[in-house]
Amino acid sequence: MSDRTLQDFVALVRRRTGIVIADDKTYLVEARLAPFAQTGGFAGVGPMLAAVMSGRDPGLLDLCVEAMTTNETLFFRDTTPFTTLAEQLVRHAAHPRRERFRIWSAACSTGQEPYSIAMVVDEVRERHPELAVEIVASDLSNRCILKAQAGVFSQFEVQRGVSMKRLVRYFEGGGGRWTINEGLKADIVWKTLNLADPFAFLGTFDAIFCRNVLFYFEPDRRRDILERLSRQMAADGRLFLGASETVLGLSDRFEGPSGVSGLRRTADPAPVRSA
Ligand SMILES: C[S@@+](CC[C@H](N)C(=O)[O-])C[C@H]1O[C@@H](n2cnc3c(N)ncnc32)[C@H](O)[C@@H]1O
């Protein structure tokens, strides 16, 4: 593949999604796009990219961009965010307000994060049946959203984070194929959404999970997304980041011990609550 084609594609991915493919990671382009080139009957990744970059197949270009995302995820990743969320939900249930408690899983990958959230909600609801919650789950990758919506997981996937008790309670099946209960699925609204695009229309949230995605972006993009996330948070809301992610040096809109235990909003940029 010519250096020029590669650089143009890397620049396009950065522009569209914020994802930075470092110079020493460009081999990923070849590795991840080779199957598309083969299926599409191209002589290789280079000729395919040259064709799609010239605007010949926008659908295939979208797939190529999407293929550059890293979708690694697991149920109840890092535990702490889910414990803090359970505490928030119990507090909310004890002081019921008119509004529903709203949760956004903003880079939900193949669904393990929003389904973990839905399990926590269900467990708190056992003691507080009146608890009204809305979960919005979004990701840039439409392929991930479709898999998440289907709610079907392999033995390997459920083994990564789902306890036996939760497996019995929230999944059906066996033989290496586990399907999430319809009840849990019904609690989640799915969207394909690029965090680089406006998201104010989603309204205000009491908990935002924006985990293990910001570190793929360059600092200016992280700053911009954090700034906009702060405007989507309820006054006593929490922002959950990944274990190796921080707002330090990027935003003064949040405070708290760490992103994993949930950051609070510091300033008051007048959020707009959704209808
Ligand atoms: C490593 S996964 C993290 C999944 C989950 N939040 C977790 O912590 O386990 C990162 C996800 O971010 C998504 N992503 C990457 N760039 C994005 C963007 N610009 N807007 C929305 N999602 C994006 C990818 O598609 C991928 O599913």
Supply the Cα-derived Rg of the chain in whole angstroms.
Answer: 20
Q: How far apart are CA 229 and CA 244, in angstroms?
A: 18
What pLDDT is recorded for position 135?
A: 98
Among 69, 209, 228, 260, which residue has the most ligand 1 atoms within 8 Å of its CB, making it the best to mutate? 69
Q: How far is the CA of 72 from the centre of ligand 1 (A)?
A: 8
Cβ–ligand 1 distance for 148 under 6 Å, the answer no
Nearest to 190 by CA among 133, 119, 141: 141
Q: What is the pLDDT along the chain (275 residues), one digit of tens a residue?
A: 788 899 999 999 999 999 999 988 889 999 999 999 999 999 999 999 999 999 888 999 999 999 999 999 999 999 999 999 999 999 999 886 668 999 999 999 999 999 999 999 999 999 999 999 999 999 999 999 999 999 999 999 999 999 999 999 999 998 889 999 999 998 899 999 999 999 999 999 999 999 999 999 999 999 999 999 999 999 999 999 999 999 999 999 999 888 899 999 996 655 556 55
DSSP-assigned states of every residue in 34-88: HHHHHHTT-SSHHHHHHHHHTTS-HHHHHHHHHTTS-----TTTTSHHHHHHHHH
Minimal-distance CA residue to ligand 1 atom 3: 212
Cβ–ligand 1 distance for 221 under 6 Å, the answer no
Residue ranges of domains in the chain, CATH in brackets:
3-66 (1.10.155), 80-265 (3.40.50.150)
Minimal-distance CA residue to ligand 1 atom 6: 211
Cβ–ligand 1 distance for 137 under 6 Å, the answer no
Q: How far is the CA of 244 from the centre of ligand 1 (A)?
A: 14
What pLDDT is recorded for position 101?
A: 95
Q: How far apart are CA 39 and CA 89, in angstroms?
A: 47
CA distances from 91 to 75, 105, 122 (A): 24, 20, 15
What pLDDT is recorded for position 258?
A: 84
Q: How far apart are CA 9 and CA 54, in angstroms?
A: 11
Cβ–ligand 1 distance for 196 under 6 Å, the answer yes
What pLDDT is recorded for position 25?
A: 86
Minimal-distance CA residue to ligand 1 atom 15: 69
Q: How far is the CA of 94 from the centre of ligand 1 (A)?
A: 33
What pLDDT is recorded for position 95?
A: 82
Q: How far is the CA of 68 from the centre of ligand 1 (A)?
A: 11
Cβ–ligand 1 distance for 259 under 6 Å, the answer no
The runs of H, that is alpha helices, within the chain are 3-17, 27-39, 45-53, 58-66, 80-94, 112-127, 142-150, 155-159, 164-170, 182-186, 219-231
CA distances from 70 to 107, 162, 187, 220, 254 (A): 11, 22, 26, 20, 26
